[in-house]
Amino acid sequence: MGYVAAKGGTQAIEQAEQLVQYYRLRGGSEPIQIRQIQDQFRLAVDKVMGEGSLYSPFHAALALKQAEGDTIEAVLLLRAFRSTCPRTRVSVVAGTSEMHVHRRISAAFQDVPGGQILGPTVDYTQRLLNFSLCEEDGDHVRRFVAQYLADLPAGELGEPPSFPKVVDILKREGLLAASNGAGAAPEEPPYDITRAPLVFPAPRSARLQALARGETGGVLALAYSSMRGYGDIHPTVGELRVGTVPLRIPHPAGGPAVFIGRVLVTEAEVVAFFDGTSGPGAPMFTLGYGLCFGHNELKAIAMAVLDRTMNAAVPKAPAENEEFVLSHIDPIESSGFAAHWKLPHYVTFQADIDRLRSAQRHAQPRDGIRRAGG
């Protein structure tokens, strides 16, 4: 190499990189294993997979370890890794009615076909710091798991059940509009915002993809703004499901689609009060739809709310404006740009000062008058 461009900057970066490693390791505790993160930081892994839009618990856990638990940094790592993965196949449309349900609730009806299944949730627990976890060791873990499984009634651990969808009942009874009006008809190939730019107005598949990849906190904040009163669609959780959905790919030789595995997803269907946006004819409830990788209920609910708010014919609130929503929820767009202000801005700031001085010179005579008068 003839020319080596860098001088001090390279050293500074290398030192900083080593210092990060040192800060992560200086405590001297045992290094955390990827498997432990996958098992015990389940929800963080799911969040990173969803926002990173790559379904791989292993890679998400590795990213979390590398990022020292910073989910947004982990998402950046995962997204960059994703860029290097060739896309060899596209699955056929997955049906969530085939979901093996781990958890399933409806806030719309007391009882629904299949029943309410609380599943693994902390919703109805008291959020007290559990100090007994400080004492937890391998022995406790093995004893608990063995005891839990022994106590289960026979057959409980069999294949999880699949159920009809709650919203299908509403559709059958003519209370719910058949489909969310906006955007692409289902038979069109869905838009892919990782292969084509997101431009506005966006087809609904692009909207849903952007929401599904959106940062949980960002999606939640915008959905909350609508619930609180900056626009209100008056949502009811028709159904919230967590479970695994089978994925299939077309058979290369044209046979029946080939099963390739299951992905854990969270799905929310939010029923919005009627307000005349369901189209011509009798008024009907309308639906907002949310689906994301992994177990992330707030994300799915917030996504469903935003899917519905963005259908407003005339946007009146930020959460109803698709440009506003979709341009500001991506974790690595927002975090990257917010962080970039740390970069040097010497040149632009110098130009800022030049303009300020010019404006000050212009203001001086008037200022003098004011001072004389006051």
Enumerate binding residues for another protein (CB under 8 A).
1-10, 12-14, 17-18, 21, 76-77, 79-80, 82-84, 86, 193-201, 323, 327, 332-333, 335-340, 343-348, 350-355, 358-359, 361-363
d(CA 261, CA 179): 28
Provide, rounded to whole angstroms, the least separation between the CB of residue 167 and another protein: 31
Provide, rounded to whole angstroms, the least separation between the CB of residue 362 and another protein: 3
Strand, helix or coil for residue 140: helix
- If the CB atoms of residues 132 and 348 are measured against another protein, the closer one turns out to be 348
Provide, rounded to whole angstroms, the least separation between the CB of residue 203 and another protein: 14
Give Cα separations from 306 to 179, 183, 237, 353 (angstroms).
16, 15, 13, 42
Provide, rounded to whole angstroms, the least separation between the CB of residue 341 and another protein: 9
Provide, rounded to whole angstroms, the least separation between the CB of residue 83 and another protein: 5
- If the CB atoms of residues 214 and 235 are measured against another protein, the closer one turns out to be 214
Task: Tell me the chain's radius of gyration from C-alpha atoms.
Answer: 26
- If the CB atoms of residues 273 and 349 are measured against another protein, the closer one turns out to be 349
Provide, rounded to whole angstroms, the least separation between the CB of residue 360 and another protein: 9
Long-range contacts of 171-179 (CB under 8 A, 24+ apart): 174/282, 174/284, 175/284, 175/285, 176/271, 176/284, 176/285, 176/286, 176/287, 177/278, 177/279, 177/284, 177/285, 177/286, 177/287, 179/287
- If the CB atoms of residues 112 and 198 are measured against another protein, the closer one turns out to be 198
- If the CB atoms of residues 172 and 195 are measured against another protein, the closer one turns out to be 195
- If the CB atoms of residues 118 and 199 are measured against another protein, the closer one turns out to be 199
User: Cβ of 115: how many Cβ atoms within 10 Å?
Assistant: 11
User: Cβ of 8: how many Cβ atoms within 10 Å?
Assistant: 7
Please say whether the beta carbons of 223 and 301 come within 8 A: yes
